[in-house]
Amino acid sequence: MLACAKRGAIVTGVDLSSEQIRLAREAMAYCGVHVNLFEADIQKLSEDVPHDYFDVAVTECGIFGWIGNLNAWMDNVHKVLKNGGKLIVSDFHPLSLIAEENKGRVTLKRSYFDQSAKIVRPEKDVPPAIEFLWKLSDIINAAIDAGFRIDNLEEYYVKQTRRKKLPFLPTDFLLVATKG
């Protein structure tokens, strides 16, 4: 978002969290750029938001864990994009959220098919939150059902240590889709 604004793009950021909006404002000031920021839930898109307006929608780093209604989210992203607009999603792979690898053994903390919402407390001083687990096929099918054409899907491993062996599971995925 900030890199695009630094290159002259007109950028709009939307987040559920007032804390994330506050942090984004700090980052904007530090980088010397302007971004239009809105605290909103894209699952419940206001009719005031223009349809067929944006060229690109970008999400990254864990958005789907906070989305309770995946179809509503995809439908609303589809509505705000221009015809031919791109959806670019870079997010944690669902398997990476439930699997642990230790000394060449992979164990699952829960079933990949268990989509019940979980209450999580990421840190001691942070209030609990509800987290959702979507299968990769849920995300792809929601995009297709909303009217997106899938251009590309990549599953990959983000190197987190000086690992020399081939990883067992992907940590992240990249989805590129076009509003047709």
Q: Say which amino acid occupies 168.
A: F
**Pairwise CA distance, residues 58 & 87, whole Å:** 6
Beta pairing, strands 99-102 & 81-92:
unpaired
The structure's pTM equals 0.86
Structure tokens at 173: 């995925």
Structure tokens at 56: 């690109």
Q: What is the pLDDT along the chain (180 residues), one digit of tens a residue?
A: 788 888 888 888 888 888 888 998 999 899 999 998 888 888 887 777 789 999 999 998 889 998 999 999 999 999 999 999 999 999 999 999 999 888 878 999 999 999 999 888 777 777 788 889 999 999 999 999 999 999 999 999 987 666 667 778 899 999 999 998
Instruction: For residue 107, list its beta bridge partners.
Output: 100
Tell me the domains of the chain and their CATH numbers. Answer: 1-40 (no CATH), 44-179 (3.40.50.150)
